[in-house]
A and B are shown apart, each in its own frame.
Chain A
Amino acid sequence: MASSSKEQLSSPGGILPFLIKYNTVFIFVLLVVFSAFISDVFFTSVNLSNLLKQVSGIGIISIGMLIVILTGGIDLSVGSMIALLAVAFALLVNIFALPLAILMTIAIGFSLGSVSGYLVAYQKMAPFIATLALMTVARGLAFIYSKGSPITFDTYGGLYMSNFANNSFLGIPNIAIVFFIIVILAMIMLRYNVFGRVIIAIGSNEEASRLSGLKVNKYKFLVYAISGALAAIAAIIVASRTNLGSPNMGMAWELDAIAAVVIGGASLSGGRGTAINTLMGVLILGLISNILNLLNVPSYPQQVVKGAIIIFAVLLQRFENK
């Protein structure tokens, strides 16, 4: 009685539901195959390692963005934080020993994130507003402390870092390894740890979370602080690649991070999303820029293509939710 096509659609073994379920991976593979066909430079190790280096910074803040978005919030400050923290790191590494400079930068990132976290969790400010304010403040501070121009590393510690940032281990760029480690940590925390359970619960029903006895405010505070700390790690990496910290770094990166998380199938209203899919989202965005660069497409049309892919990816997820 029931039409057979319907049964096909809903039977777990069919090919279409598989593609819909793993749509992000599907798009990713499609892009890789397409890129390989269209350009013979694509599959060279130089290009691939360049690609990875390019996405690592944005990738790291995307993971921070993911955990904030899982609680139903958003962090618009991360792009500007990269500028401020890159400048801070350049200043610090020129004064203090490298490990100390790294720790201090991360601590500053964590503290700045805590400000957003405090405003959102304890002052009940809308995340969009609180982090928008912080975004402006951070960019302003970056210009103030750098006096408007880039600050170059000029100590041994700085040179060591830029060496690290531009080298590879077993063919994989060091900074990509840092990114992948963060992805794996996030994956473990989200999937197997109470931390992940709680923030997903908060994102899917905040009132029910509160009435289940969860410390909602503490966790909401924490995700912004972590996002700030991750922005610090990203900033150190980005600054080290070019051997300097500039107040112009990370311009509009928060938007790319949001795009990556959304392409990865997370819901902006919270409660849904995974670290692996966000990694896919980051790689998809990186691939698009990479292949368009290889094809010598100028940057304005690139933006149009990027936007179109975002729409396509999100439309595909519609089916998944049906």
Chain B
Amino acid sequence: MQNSTSEYRLEMSGISKRFGVVSVLENVNLKVKHGEIHALLGENGAGKSTLMKILSGVHQKDAGRVVLNGKEIAPKNTHDGQVLGINVVYQELSLVNDLSVAENIYLHKLGASKFWMNWKKINKDAQELIDSLGFKIDATAKVRDLSIVQKQVVEIAKAISEDTEILVLDEPTTVFDPTDTQKLFDNLFKLKERGISIIYISHHLEEIFKIADTVTVLRDGVDTGSIPVKETDTDGVIQLMIGRKLEDLYPERNSTLGGAPIFEVKNLSAKDTLVHDVSFAVRPGEVLGIAGLGGSGRTETAKLIFGADRKKSGQIFLNGEEIATRSPSEAVDHNIGLVSENRKEEGVFLPLSIQKNISVTDFSAISGKFGFINAENESKNVNNLIEKLNIKTPSAEVPVKNLSGGNQQKVALAKWLSIDSKVILIDEPTRGVDVGAKVEIYSLINEVAQNGVGVIVISSDMPEIMGIADRILVMHEGTIYGELSKEEFTEENILRFAIGEPLKK
């Protein structure tokens, strides 16, 4: 049975797939060796996730062969895939919010086991598994109460089991800070030593050079071949991905900052989260970065300002006047916008069209008296943004759930960039976005700032935040620990503040 002559554990060859009339994959080949980490790269919408979903049984291929350990396979659903030892951490979170961490981890095995659950054992095993990964999560906690980072860890734990042969990670680190990412890499190296083959998808190219052995690049549904990582570099990979060289990743910051702050918060504290005594000011035209480790309260601060969480005390000033933001709708009335980090649950309406998603923040611009929508204005506005952000779609009527992850992120951004904001809070602007589109988004942020908007960007991606911000605040344990001016921007300085230590002299 075992085809011992092949050095590959997995061979996917000639894979084609279309959704309706749209062809997504054409004659794609992917070969993965035993115990290797194989990076799969490509622009948003190139077909990476689709290829992996064919491997795991979510989608069925239209043509081609998949050979695992010398045997042709054709999983019809994810259960078939799991039985074959193919485990996938999908790009979108797929946990059951109302179940515990342990229940989620063993969910796919529950049906197969005996009639009675041994909860004690399940909880203990789950706890051991998480501990062994090096993360701190209580296995009996409800998934609903976890942070997005913790949820991602649970997703990963769920995919690792005794009989995993192939582990697919589809953009696993988008929500991680550098320390979390390092922990994940340590674990991947351990799994690799056990002989597990890992397919790794990411838009953080530097990660690829840290961990991968081989890289395969997909471009518009066609593979451009596989090469050993040693034989290429970032520029080479980008060239393969987008077909051209990329000049500058970060735009020139040349906006003139206004004198008086457009936006200011004083001693803001939250009722239900760890955020306390947050004070800062943003000037018109300024891009203010907020850095910090996962769980340091960055997202919670943004939500507090936006009125999505309840405040205990503190003041907010817009153009020098005190305002109240007791709810998001009040914040929006004051022209404050928030792009959420959690795209699927808080950012987009998956079943609705791109058009309906983008228009939702600004009905006043497209509707007349009595709220009737001017279809012409609406589609003009929407198509403009689709073009500007380079959203890959056949039309504005496509439901957002049919877009690739990165293109969904662009929709989440577009919805706020379309309106006349005075202040815009962007939590992880380029989560899951490819390099080419990152450049677009950065220059868009730049453009928004140049129009005199106060832009607050939260990011775990340190090169990114250093590349686009004029000033960086670093949060630690729910409050702002330190501030870095442009000359002080280094990864080390950010990290020192992030763990609560002063800068080195």
Contact = CB atoms under 8 A, between A and B. Distances in A.
B283 interface: no
User: Which one of B18, B19, B329 has the highest number of Cβ atoms from chain A below 10 Å of its Cβ?
Assistant: B329
A214 B352 contact: no
A208 B331 contact: no
B106 interface: no
A296 interface: no
Interface in B283-342: 306, 308, 327-329, 331-333, 338, 340
B329 A213 contact: yes
A320 B212 CA distance: 42
A212 B415 contact: yes
Contact of A12 (B21, B345, B360): B21
Contact of A214 (B16, B19, B360): B360
A272 B16 CA distance: 32
Nearest to B331: A213
Contacts of B345: 205, 207-208
B359 A197 contact: yes
B415 A194 contact: no
Interface in A182-208: 192-195, 197-198, 200-201, 204-205, 207-208
A2 interface: yes
Nearest to B348: A208
A170 interface: no
Across the A-B interface, the 5 shortest Cβ-Cβ residue pairs? A213-B332, A194-B371, A1-B63, A2-B62, A194-B363
A10 interface: yes
Contacts of B340: 208, 211
B350 to A, nearest CB: 7
A267 to B, nearest CB: 9
25 contacts: A1-B63, A11-B21, A12-B20, A12-B21, A192-B373, A193-B371, A193-B372, A194-B367, A194-B373, A195-B371, A201-B356, A201-B360, A205-B348, A205-B349, A211-B306, A212-B360, A212-B361, A213-B328, A213-B329, A213-B333, A214-B329, A214-B360, A215-B329, A271-B349, A272-B351
A193 B373 CA distance: 6
A271 B352 contact: yes
B251 interface: no
Nearest to A216: B329
Contacts of A213: 328-329, 331-333, 361
A147 interface: no
A201 B356 CA distance: 8
Interface of B: 16, 18-21, 62-63, 306, 308, 327-329, 331-333, 338, 340, 345-352, 356, 359-361, 363, 367, 370-373, 375, 415
Given A194-B367, A210-B328, A271-B352, A3 B346 contact: no
Interface in A63-112: none
Interface in A1-33: 1-3, 6, 10-12
Contacts of A271: 349, 351-352
Contacts of A194: 363, 367, 371-373
Nearest to B330: A213
Contacts of B367: 193-194
A192 B63 CA distance: 43
Interface of B is mostly: mixed
Interface of A: 1-3, 6, 10-12, 192-195, 197-198, 200-201, 204-205, 207-215, 271-272
Contacts of A204: 349-352
A204 B345 CA distance: 10
A201 B349 contact: yes
A201 B347 CA distance: 12
Given A198-B360, A212-B328, 12 more contacts: A2-B18, A2-B62, A2-B63, A193-B371, A195-B371, A201-B360, A208-B340, A208-B345, A210-B308, A212-B415, A213-B361, A271-B349
A1 B62 contact: yes
A322 to B, nearest CB: 11
Contacts of B18: 2, 10
A12 B19 CA distance: 12
Given A1-B63, A200-B356, A201-B349, A211 B372 contact: no
Given A3-B62, A204-B351, A211-B328, A197 B372 contact: no
B403 to A, nearest CB: 15
A201 B331 CA distance: 19
A192 B370 CA distance: 11
A2 B349 CA distance: 32
Contacts of A192: 372-373, 375
Contacts of B350: 204-205
Nearest to A270: B351
A195 B370 CA distance: 10
A11 B21 CA distance: 7
Contacts of B373: 192-194, 197
B111 to A, nearest CB: 23
Contacts of A201: 349, 352, 356, 360
